[in-house]
Copies of this chain bind each other. A is one copy, B any other.
Amino acid sequence: MADVARRAGVSMATASRALSNHPHVAAETRRRVLAAAEQLSYVISPEASRLAGGTTGRVAVVVPHLSRWFFATLLDGLESVLREADLDVLLYHVGDADDRRDFFHRLPARRKVDAVVVLGMPVADGERERLESMGVHIVAAGGQVENYPYVSIDDGEAGRQAVDHLLLLKHRRIGMIAAVDPTEPGWPANPGRSRAYHEALAAAGLPADPGLVVTVPWGGLSGADAMARLLSLREPPTAVYAHSDEVAFGAIHTLRRAGLRIPGDMSVVGIDDHPMAELADLTTVAQPVREQGTAAGRLLLSLLSGAETGGGLTVPTRLVVRGSTAPPRR
């Protein structure tokens, strides 16, 4: 930068001000500095800038399952608005319990970022403490973290939409395939989505039959297993509500293999509106995933600019009826 200043015939102080768009710099001076910088193809050193300035211009994004569509899409949305704002994204993938422990213990992002975004995972109390010890802004998206400014869907509402749809079709024996995160043994299956099932059945005056609920680790293969278990019941359901589309895909696979017709012999509904759902002709409750990412990004931006953005933002879900649901066979 000294070179630039010299070439523009100003002091470093002025050069710095001109380059970072400070007020109180004469237009002509600024022009000269910018021209000089251009000619020397000068690029500011972020390290030095941050050292002197205080902020890092970076945001840590913590994500538990990078290769799953939901998380990757969330990240996609988030990254796009952060990039727009010239913030860099530091990616931390905490795949399994070990990674997770390590991340919260060592806090590799400490001192490296201005904020942390937690994508689609609950944060335990001890973890929250560690996170807060970093002294930066924290935002959550796509999960059920109420302790921070967050963006998320209403899982209860989503589940209700799915189950009510089946009830409206006059199904009376409805199974649920609940999915737990395989890498976090401690956590229960998505509580909102489970509760919605029980509440909707109760509201319809239907008896609760624990045998109709199967809980499996998340994933397509598990969904297939779960469906097999439901089929082996003395009196199988006529419809199945899966916690997510991927799980539903597994269920469909089992049904096909068993020679059952969808929706003739069994209706299936999922949650997510995974891109593959359209191809699988799956009725599902759509949630705007990418938008949750962008909304979280904007939330973070306003936080960084000093706003006192309090609570969270709940985005709407909507039922998408396709060919996998129909009234039960008489």
Q: A67-B72, A83-B92, A88-B90 are in contact. Are A253 and B224 (CB under 8 A)?
A: no
Q: Which residues of chain B have C-beta atoms less than 8 A from A95's C-beta? A: 76, 80
- Does A235 belong to the interface (CB within 8 Å)? no
- Does A204 belong to the interface (CB within 8 Å)? no
Q: Which residues of chain B have C-beta atoms less than 8 A from A275's C-beta? A: 220
Interface mask (A48-91 → B, CB under 8 Å = 1, otherwise 0): 10110000101001000011110111011001100100101111
Work out how many copies of this chain go into the complex: 2
Q: Choose the segment among A105-113, A119-127, A145-153 that binds chain B (4+ C-beta atoms closer than 8 Å).
A: A105-113
Q: Choose the segment among A14-22, A23-31, A38-46, A187-195 that binds chain B (4+ C-beta atoms closer than 8 Å).
A: A38-46
Q: Is the CB of B86 within 8 A of A89?
A: no
- Does A279 belong to the interface (CB within 8 Å)? yes
CA distance A88 to B90 in the complex (A): 7
Q: A220-B275, A250-B279, A276-B220 are in contact. Are A86 and B108 (CB under 8 A)?
A: yes
Question: In angstroms, how far is the closest chain B Cβ from the Cβ of A45?
Answer: 6
CA distance A110 to B76 in the complex (A): 22
- Does A241 belong to the interface (CB within 8 Å)? no
Q: A253-B279, A279-B249 are in contact. Are A79 and B66 (CB under 8 A)?
A: yes
Interface size on A, residues (CB 8 A): 49
Question: In angstroms, how far is the closest chain B Cβ from the Cβ of A79?
Answer: 5
- Does A3 belong to the interface (CB within 8 Å)? no
Contact sample, A vs B, 23 pairs, CB 8 Å cutoff: A45-B111, A47-B50, A61-B91, A66-B72, A66-B73, A66-B75, A66-B79, A67-B69, A67-B290, A68-B72, A69-B72, A71-B72, A75-B91, A79-B93, A80-B93, A83-B93, A86-B108, A88-B90, A90-B90, A90-B91, A220-B275, A252-B279, A253-B279
